[in-house]
Protein backbone atom coordinates (compact mmCIF):
# COMPACT_ATOMS: atom_id res chain seq x y z
CA UNK A 1 0.00 0.00 0.00
CA UNK A 2 1.33 3.41 -0.96
CA UNK A 3 1.83 5.99 1.70
CA UNK A 4 2.36 9.69 1.48
CA UNK A 5 5.19 11.51 3.01
CA UNK A 6 3.18 12.14 6.14
CA UNK A 7 2.69 8.43 6.63
CA UNK A 8 -1.04 8.33 5.85
CA UNK A 9 -2.22 5.82 3.30
CA UNK A 10 -4.69 6.69 0.55
CA UNK A 11 -7.29 4.32 1.94
CA UNK A 12 -7.09 5.92 5.40
CA UNK A 13 -7.46 9.36 3.85
CA UNK A 14 -10.63 8.33 1.97
CA UNK A 15 -12.15 6.55 4.97
CA UNK A 16 -11.65 9.38 7.41
CA UNK A 17 -12.50 12.09 4.90
CA UNK A 18 -9.31 13.99 5.51
CA UNK A 19 -8.69 16.85 3.12
CA UNK A 20 -4.97 17.02 3.66
CA UNK A 21 -2.59 14.56 2.24
CA UNK A 22 -4.93 12.87 -0.26
CA UNK A 23 -5.14 13.23 -3.99
CA UNK A 24 -7.50 15.95 -5.36
CA UNK A 25 -10.11 13.36 -6.45
CA UNK A 26 -10.52 12.13 -2.89
CA UNK A 27 -11.67 15.52 -1.64
CA UNK A 28 -15.34 16.01 -0.76
CA UNK A 29 -17.42 18.15 -3.11
CA UNK A 30 -19.05 21.32 -1.81
CA UNK A 31 -22.71 21.15 -0.66
CA UNK A 32 -25.63 21.95 -3.00
CA UNK A 33 -27.58 20.34 -5.80
CA UNK A 34 -26.53 19.56 -9.32
CA UNK A 35 -28.49 20.82 -12.29
CA UNK A 36 -29.66 17.28 -13.01
CA UNK A 37 -31.05 16.87 -9.50
CA UNK A 38 -32.96 20.15 -9.81
CA UNK A 39 -34.40 19.14 -13.19
CA UNK A 40 -35.62 15.82 -11.78
CA UNK A 41 -37.39 17.62 -8.91
CA UNK A 42 -39.02 20.11 -11.32
CA UNK A 43 -40.14 17.22 -13.56
CA UNK A 44 -41.73 15.38 -10.62
CA UNK A 45 -43.56 18.55 -9.52
CA UNK A 46 -44.79 19.14 -13.08
CA UNK A 47 -46.14 15.61 -13.45
CA UNK A 48 -47.87 15.81 -10.06
CA UNK A 49 -49.54 19.12 -10.94
CA UNK A 50 -50.54 17.79 -14.36
CA UNK A 51 -52.37 14.93 -12.71
CA UNK A 52 -53.87 17.02 -9.93
CA UNK A 53 -55.16 20.11 -11.74
CA UNK A 54 -57.77 18.39 -13.99
CA UNK A 55 -59.39 16.86 -10.91
CA UNK A 56 -59.66 20.30 -9.31
CA UNK A 57 -61.60 21.89 -12.22
CA UNK A 58 -64.43 23.60 -10.33
CA UNK A 59 -65.97 25.13 -13.47
CA UNK A 60 -67.23 21.93 -15.05
CA UNK A 61 -65.65 23.07 -18.32
CA UNK A 62 -63.82 19.80 -18.82
CA UNK A 63 -67.01 17.76 -18.43
CA UNK A 64 -68.83 20.00 -20.93
CA UNK A 65 -65.94 19.76 -23.40
CA UNK A 66 -65.86 15.96 -23.16
CA UNK A 67 -69.61 15.61 -23.69
CA UNK A 68 -69.64 17.97 -26.68
CA UNK A 69 -66.72 16.14 -28.30
CA UNK A 70 -68.46 12.81 -27.71
CA UNK A 71 -71.67 14.01 -29.37
CA UNK A 72 -69.76 15.50 -32.32
CA UNK A 73 -67.80 12.26 -32.78
CA UNK A 74 -71.00 10.18 -32.65
CA UNK A 75 -72.67 12.44 -35.23
CA UNK A 76 -69.64 11.99 -37.51
CA UNK A 77 -69.69 8.22 -36.95
CA UNK A 78 -73.39 8.01 -37.83
CA UNK A 79 -72.74 10.07 -40.98
CA UNK A 80 -69.93 7.71 -42.03
CA UNK A 81 -72.02 4.61 -41.34
CA UNK A 82 -74.98 6.08 -43.25
CA UNK A 83 -72.86 6.55 -46.36
CA UNK A 84 -71.00 3.22 -46.06
CA UNK A 85 -74.10 1.14 -45.34
CA UNK A 86 -76.52 3.08 -47.56
CA UNK A 87 -78.79 3.49 -44.53
CA UNK A 88 -80.66 6.51 -43.18
CA UNK A 89 -79.94 7.54 -39.58
CA UNK A 90 -81.44 10.09 -37.22
CA UNK A 91 -80.51 11.41 -33.82
CA UNK A 92 -83.45 12.11 -31.52
CA UNK A 93 -82.71 14.90 -29.07
CA UNK A 94 -84.09 15.58 -25.60
CA UNK A 95 -83.10 18.21 -23.03
CA UNK A 96 -81.24 15.56 -21.00
CA UNK A 97 -79.91 13.19 -23.66
CA UNK A 98 -80.11 11.75 -27.16
CA UNK A 99 -80.45 8.50 -29.04
CA UNK A 100 -79.67 7.31 -32.55
CA UNK A 101 -82.21 5.63 -34.82
CA UNK A 102 -82.01 3.96 -38.22
CA UNK A 103 -84.70 3.48 -40.83
CA UNK A 104 -85.66 -0.07 -41.75
CA UNK A 105 -88.29 -0.95 -44.36
CA UNK A 106 -91.21 -0.01 -42.07
CA UNK A 107 -90.18 2.44 -39.35
CA UNK A 108 -87.42 4.08 -37.33
CA UNK A 109 -85.67 1.62 -35.01
CA UNK A 110 -83.12 2.20 -32.23
CA UNK A 111 -79.58 1.85 -33.60
CA UNK A 112 -78.05 -1.56 -32.92
CA UNK A 113 -74.46 -0.29 -32.83
CA UNK A 114 -73.07 -0.22 -29.27
CA UNK A 115 -71.38 3.14 -29.94
CA UNK A 116 -74.68 4.68 -31.05
CA UNK A 117 -76.56 3.55 -27.95
CA UNK A 118 -78.90 6.01 -26.11
CA UNK A 119 -77.04 8.44 -23.86
CA UNK A 120 -78.08 10.64 -20.96
CA UNK A 121 -76.28 13.87 -20.22
CA UNK A 122 -74.59 14.21 -16.81
CA UNK A 123 -76.62 15.84 -14.05
CA UNK A 124 -76.70 19.62 -14.40
CA UNK A 125 -76.07 19.56 -18.14
CA UNK A 126 -78.75 20.64 -20.65
CA UNK A 127 -79.18 20.43 -24.40
CA UNK A 128 -81.00 22.93 -26.63
CA UNK A 129 -81.69 22.60 -30.35
CA UNK A 130 -81.99 25.36 -32.96
CA UNK A 131 -83.46 24.84 -36.45
CA UNK A 132 -82.89 27.73 -38.86
CA UNK A 133 -82.01 29.95 -35.90
CA UNK A 134 -85.24 29.16 -34.01
CA UNK A 135 -84.94 27.44 -30.66
CA UNK A 136 -86.98 24.24 -30.34
CA UNK A 137 -89.21 24.58 -27.28
CA UNK A 138 -89.14 21.23 -25.47
CA UNK A 139 -91.63 22.45 -22.87
CA UNK A 140 -94.45 23.26 -25.29
CA UNK A 141 -93.85 19.99 -27.16
CA UNK A 142 -93.86 17.64 -24.14
CA UNK A 143 -97.27 16.25 -25.06
CA UNK A 144 -95.84 14.92 -28.33
CA UNK A 145 -94.40 11.42 -28.33
CA UNK A 146 -91.37 12.31 -30.41
CA UNK A 147 -88.53 14.71 -29.86
CA UNK A 148 -86.82 16.72 -32.58
CA UNK A 149 -84.66 14.70 -34.93
CA UNK A 150 -81.62 15.46 -37.00
CA UNK A 151 -81.63 13.26 -40.06
CA UNK A 152 -78.35 11.85 -41.34
CA UNK A 153 -78.85 10.54 -44.87
CA UNK A 154 -76.97 7.97 -46.90
CA UNK A 155 -76.26 10.70 -49.46
CA UNK A 156 -73.99 12.40 -46.89
CA UNK A 157 -76.49 15.17 -46.16
CA UNK A 158 -77.84 16.05 -42.74
CA UNK A 159 -80.48 18.28 -41.20
CA UNK A 160 -78.83 21.67 -40.63
CA UNK A 161 -79.12 22.54 -36.95
CA UNK A 162 -77.31 23.89 -33.93
CA UNK A 163 -77.07 22.00 -30.67
CA UNK A 164 -76.22 24.04 -27.59
CA UNK A 165 -74.79 22.23 -24.56
CA UNK A 166 -74.62 24.02 -21.23
CA UNK A 167 -73.59 22.98 -17.75
CA UNK A 168 -74.71 24.69 -14.57
CA UNK A 169 -71.15 24.28 -13.22
CA UNK A 170 -69.55 26.10 -16.16
CA UNK A 171 -69.66 29.67 -17.40
CA UNK A 172 -69.29 28.50 -21.03
CA UNK A 173 -71.74 27.12 -23.57
CA UNK A 174 -70.63 24.78 -26.34
CA UNK A 175 -72.34 24.96 -29.72
CA UNK A 176 -72.27 22.12 -32.24
CA UNK A 177 -73.18 23.28 -35.72
CA UNK A 178 -74.36 20.56 -38.09
CA UNK A 179 -74.13 21.66 -41.73
CA UNK A 180 -76.18 20.41 -44.67
CA UNK A 181 -73.16 18.44 -45.93
CA UNK A 182 -73.00 16.57 -42.59
CA UNK A 183 -69.96 18.40 -41.24
CA UNK A 184 -69.96 19.10 -37.49
CA UNK A 185 -68.15 22.10 -36.00
CA UNK A 186 -67.67 22.82 -32.28
CA UNK A 187 -67.39 26.33 -30.84
CA UNK A 188 -67.52 27.52 -27.27
CA UNK A 189 -68.43 30.94 -25.94
CA UNK A 190 -69.19 32.65 -22.64
CA UNK A 191 -72.72 32.00 -21.41
CA UNK A 192 -75.26 34.71 -22.16
CA UNK A 193 -77.02 35.84 -19.01
pTM: 0.65
The helix or strand, by DSSP H or E, that contains position 1, with its residue range, turns out to be: none
Could you tell me if residue 68 is inside a domain? Answer: yes
pLDDT at 51 over 90: no
Output 138 or 95, whichever has higher pLDDT: 95
Mean pLDDT of 6-27: 54
Q: Do both 39 and 105 map to the same domain?
A: no
The helix or strand, by DSSP H or E, that contains position 108, with its residue range, turns out to be: strand 108-110
Residue 79 structural domain: 61-190
> Which residues, including other chains, have CB under 8 Å from residue 35's CB and lie 6 or more apart?
none
Q: Do both 93 and 48 map to the same domain?
A: no
CA 80 to chain CA centroid, nearest Å: 22
Q: For 127-162, what is the HEC assignment? A: EEEEECCEECCCCCCCCCCCCCEEEECCCCCECCEE
> Which residues, including other chains, have CB under 8 Å from residue 159's CB and lie 6 or more apart?
131, 149, 150, 151, 152, 178
Q: Do both 22 and 98 map to the same domain?
A: no
Q: Do both 97 and 159 map to the same domain?
A: yes
Q: Do both 88 and 178 map to the same domain?
A: yes
Q: Do both 83 and 140 map to the same domain?
A: yes
Q: Do both 80 and 145 map to the same domain?
A: yes
pLDDT band (50, 70, 90) for residue 144: low
Could you tell me if residue 133 is inside a domain? Answer: yes
Could you tell me if residue 1 is inside a domain? Answer: no
Strand pairing category for 97-103 and 161-167:
unpaired
- pLDDT for the residue numbered 9: 52
Could you tell me if residue 4 is inside a domain? Answer: no
Residue range 100-143, pLDDT digits in tens = 999 988 899 999 888 899 999 998 899 999 998 888 887 665 55
Nearest to 78 by CA among 163, 153, 155, 165: 153
CATH number at residue 115: 3.55.40.10
Please state the domain count of the chain: 2
- Comparing 28-32, 132-136, 161-165, 171-175, which segment has the lowest mean pLDDT? 28-32
Q: Do both 29 and 74 map to the same domain?
A: no
CA-CA distance, 63 to 53, in Å (whole number)?
14
Amino acid sequence: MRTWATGTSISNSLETGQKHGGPPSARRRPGGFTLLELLVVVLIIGITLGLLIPTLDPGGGRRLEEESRRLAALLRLAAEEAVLEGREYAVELAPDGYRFLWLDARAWQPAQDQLLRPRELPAGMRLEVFFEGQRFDFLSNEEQETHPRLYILSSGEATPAEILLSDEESDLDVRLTVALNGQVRITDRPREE
